[in-house]
A = this chain, B = another copy of it.
Amino acid sequence: MVSAVKLEVVVMPKRNVLDPQGVAVRNAVRELGLSNVGTVRVGKIIEIEFTGEPDEAKLDEICRDLLSNQVIEDYRILGAVLK
């Protein structure tokens, strides 16, 4: 029996959307000595712990409607069983 499951939702700006925060980080890390850095993108990661079996279809729906903005963002769900 699964007693605890942790899922991670990663929400990233789409490839063709300008990511000013990513550009700022890229410029900063280059100045700090990492000269071979290309693209940098900054997104969100949401760790969700479930007690018992997660309803992945429902989670997918929530990711689409609540946790991401489908116009400018993509999401992916990563899974890891804890115990």
A interface list, Cβ under 8 A from B? 4, 10, 12, 22, 25-26, 28-29, 32-34, 36-55, 58-59, 62, 66-67
Contacts and interface: CB of A to CB of B under 8 A. Distances in A.
Contact of A55 (B12, B34, B46): B34
A78 to B, nearest CB: 10
B32 A39 contact: no
5 smallest CB-CB distances across A and B, nearest first, come from: A38-B49, A45-B45, A39-B49, A41-B47, A43-B45
Nearest to A29: B62
A45 B48 contact: no
A43 B48 CA distance: 11
Contacts of A53: 36
